């Protein structure tokens, strides 16, 4: 065992390699991109970029059917693109283990929206793990493959920017020898016509029950005993912030956040005077915990937009902000992103500008054409949307 400093993304790649993964496919997107760049360096893994996230997941499904452990990686908006195979994959299950790694971007450092993809795990009835640092990123990916094969399910591992890009100390291990499995023909399991899908949906519901039992006892979900005055339920990087802000509190640290361990949560709540839920973005855990009949405070104190940090958690729960050595960055010159000096898109925009066109753009460098002096983007919704929007716009005879 060796100790090394790894980013969360590097640790995901290392964990997948240690788990015996033989195939990885992805569509690049911040903050997930470096996972595939890293895993491509392992000779034992066939790693490739796909033309989009749907194809990346479908390629991983094919590898899993072919008996090889497979990883599909994408950022949060990519899961919208891959949602069609993802939701039915839940019914089909796996042959060899399959893990979908989804990286969310709270605060939208490099994204067009701030969606909380944890809801996809509930929608698709798929188990979800949320590491809070690089060591857990490595450990949880390995566990995810074990869960995938034990429960015949894809497993979603959800990270966020600060887990993906922060570097923390990691104990690495050896690669597990995993034999390629035979693909056994089984239309009832693999061919989702309505008659078989109805049977598989019942299997999925029964599987969620077994996964809920697993969630009660897995060491990923653990109580850290502290003061009885306050209990904090948290997961992912938000756990690190909460530990810093409430060093004396008791914690229920959740690594498996879907399905939630109801009995464990109730036991934890009974042992403390009050419970806070500290989570980034939506009240995903809070709403479910309240539905269990447990009184908690979460989004009444914390925002549903943007990343958390220790100061936001401090202020939200009525504590004083820390003093920072550099607090005011407003006097620093702004450095917005821009098209490279020799970018060919500049030439196109410059040539088209005198025509004063309405421009519907796509996600990518060319979106930066919206900035002055080019000012050549009038709408940008999502990847690949430009032609469809331009088509609809032109069909209704809107102004040109």
Q: With contact defined as beta carbons under 8 Å apart, do 229 and 272 qualify?
A: yes
- Residue nearer to ligand SF4 on the CB measure, 199 or 340: 340
Q: How far is CA 276 from the centre of its chain?
A: 23
State the binding string over 343-372 for ligand SF4 (x if CB under 6 A, else -): x-x-------------------x-------
Q: With contact defined as beta carbons under 8 Å apart, do 214 and 257 qualify?
A: no
Cis peptide before 328 (omega within 30 of 0): no
What is the bridge-based pairing of β-strands 227-235 and 274-278?
Answer: parallel
Report the distance separating Cα 333 and Cα 393, nearest Å.
Answer: 39
- Residue nearer to ligand SF4 on the CB measure, 205 or 365: 365
300 binds ligand SF4 (CB under 6 A): no
Shortest Å, Cβ 371 to ligand SF4: 11
State the binding string over 42-81 for ligand SF4 (x if CB under 6 A, else -): ----------------------------------------
Report the distance separating Cα 297 and Cα 317, nearest Å.
Answer: 9
- Residue nearer to ligand SF4 on the CB measure, 199 or 365: 365
The span of 175-183, 261-269, 318-326, 335-343 binding ligand SF4 (CB under 6 A) equals 335-343
Shortest Å, Cβ 155 to ligand SF4: 34
For residue 297, give the 3-state DSSP assignment. strand
178 binds ligand SF4 (CB under 6 A): no
Q: How far is CA 334 from the centre of its chain?
A: 30
- Residue nearer to ligand SF4 on the CB measure, 62 or 347: 347
Q: With contact defined as beta carbons under 8 Å apart, do 69 and 178 qualify?
A: yes
Report the distance separating Cα 127 and Cα 130, nearest Å.
Answer: 10
Considering only 191, 340, 358, 387, the residue that binds ligand SF4 (CB under 6 A) is 340
Shortest Å, Cβ 345 to ligand SF4: 5
Q: With contact defined as beta carbons under 8 Å apart, do 231 and 251 qualify?
A: yes
339 binds ligand SF4 (CB under 6 A): yes
Report the distance separating Cα 181 and Cα 69, nearest Å.
Answer: 9
**Of 388, 382, 351, 347, the residue nearest 367 (C-alpha):** 382
- Residue nearer to ligand SF4 on the CB measure, 62 or 344: 344
- Residue nearer to ligand SF4 on the CB measure, 5 or 365: 365
The span of 204-212, 234-242, 267-275, 339-347 binding ligand SF4 (CB under 6 A) equals 339-347
Residues contacting ligand SF4: total by CB under 6 A: 5
- Residue nearer to ligand SF4 on the CB measure, 304 or 365: 365
Report the distance separating Cα 349 and Cα 368, nearest Å.
Answer: 11
The span of 126-134, 202-210, 323-331, 336-344 binding ligand SF4 (CB under 6 A) equals 336-344
- Residue nearer to ligand SF4 on the CB measure, 142 or 345: 345
Shortest Å, Cβ 202 to ligand SF4: 49
Q: Determine phi and psi for 290, rounding to 5 degrees.
A: -65, -40
- Hey, what are 215's tokens? 């969630």
Shortest Å, Cβ 111 to ligand SF4: 17
The span of 20-28, 82-90, 160-168, 340-348 binding ligand SF4 (CB under 6 A) equals 340-348
- Residue 360 is classified by DSSP as B
For residue 274, give the 3-state DSSP assignment. strand
- Residue nearer to ligand SF4 on the CB measure, 357 or 364: 364
Report the distance separating Cα 385 and Cα 391, nearest Å.
Answer: 10
Residues that bind ligand SF4 (CB under 6 A): 339-340, 343, 345, 365
């Amino acid at each position: 065992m060796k100790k090394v400093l790894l980013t969360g993304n590097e640790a995901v790649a290392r964990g997948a390699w240690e788990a015996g993964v033989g195939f990885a496919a992805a569509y690049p997107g911040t903050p997930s991109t470096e996972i595939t760049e890293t895993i491509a360096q392992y000779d034992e893994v066939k790693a490739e970029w796909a033309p989009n996230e749907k194809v990346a997941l479908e390629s991983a499904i094919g590898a899993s059917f072919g008996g090889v452990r497979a990883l599909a990686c994408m950022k949060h908006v990519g899961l919208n693109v891959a949602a069609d195979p993802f939701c039915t994959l839940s019914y089909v299950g796996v042959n060899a283990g399959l893990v979908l790694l989804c990286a969310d971007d709270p605060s939208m450092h490099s994204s067009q929206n701030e969606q909380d993809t944890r809801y996809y795990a509930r929608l698709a009835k798929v188990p979800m793990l949320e590491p809070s640092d690089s060591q857990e990123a490595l450990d949880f990916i390995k566990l995810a493959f074990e869960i995938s094969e034990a429960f015949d399910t894809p497993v979603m591992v959800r990270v966020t920017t600060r887990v993906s890009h922060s570097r923390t100390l990691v104990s690495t291990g050896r690669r597990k020898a995993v034999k390629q499995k035979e693909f056994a023909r089984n239309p009832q399991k693999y061919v989702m016509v309505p008659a078989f899908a109805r049977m598989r949906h019942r299997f999925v519901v029964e599987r969620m029950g077994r996964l809920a039992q697993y969630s009660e006892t897995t060491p990923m979900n653990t109580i850290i005993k502290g003061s009885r005055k306050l209990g904090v339920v948290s997961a992912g990087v938000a756990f690190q912030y909460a530990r810093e802000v409430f060093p004396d509190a008791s914690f229920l640290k959740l690594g498996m956040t879907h399905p939630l361990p109801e009995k464990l949560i109730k036991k934890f709540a009974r042992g403390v005077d009050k419970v806070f839920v500290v989570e980034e973005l939506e009240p995903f855990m809070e709403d479910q915990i309240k539905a269990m009949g447990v009184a908690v405070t979460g989004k009444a104190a914390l925002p549903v937009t943007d990343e958390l940090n220790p100061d936001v958690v401090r202020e939200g729960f009525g504590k004083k902000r820390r003093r920072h050595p550099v607090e005011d960055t407003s006097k620093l010159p702004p450095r917005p992103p821009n098209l490279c000096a020799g970018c060919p898109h500049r030439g196109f925009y410059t040539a088209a500008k005198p025509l004063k066109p309405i421009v519907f753009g796509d996600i990518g460098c060319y979106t930066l054409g919206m900035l002055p002096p080019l000012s050549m983007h009038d709408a940008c919704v999502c990847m690949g949307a430009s032609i469809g929007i331009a088509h609809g716009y032109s069909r209704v005879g809107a102004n040109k």
